[in-house]
Amino acid sequence: MRLQGPALRLTIFVGETDRWHHKPLFTEIVHRAHQAGLAGATVLRGIEGYGASQHVHTTRILSLSDDLPVVIVVVDDETRIRGFLPTLDELIGDGLVVVEPVEVIRYVGRDRPAAG
């Protein structure tokens, strides 16, 4: 798979303890992105942050949190990213979803084997 030139970066901010049917929400988002054929997804665990609740979550020892911020980043062409947004509407209650234009300089993945 090749991706080069104009694309969109989809960035999703959720909490580490957010769930979808008893499993982590970020895991469900990654699996759905994979099923949708998106180029790839990366999950990053934050060390500190706050969102709409205005409650600061941190890894600092004196205020250790078990609900740290989690960021899922996906880059693909505009059609695929925009086609995936309704899935996020279904999955995300509290969170932030951002779409930004980017330029892909190099992305060369392994060719997928033919289905069958």
How do residues 69-79 score in pLDDT, each as one tens digit?
Answer: 899 999 999 99
30-41 pLDDT, tens digit each? 999 999 999 999
Coil, strand or helix: which one is 97?
A: strand
| Reported confidence tier of residue 89, pLDDT bands at 50, 70, 90 | very high
pLDDT for the residue 90 = 95
Average pLDDT over residues 77-87: 97
> Which tokens hold the place of 37?
């054929």
User: Could you give the domains of the chain?
Assistant: 5-101 (3.30.70.120)
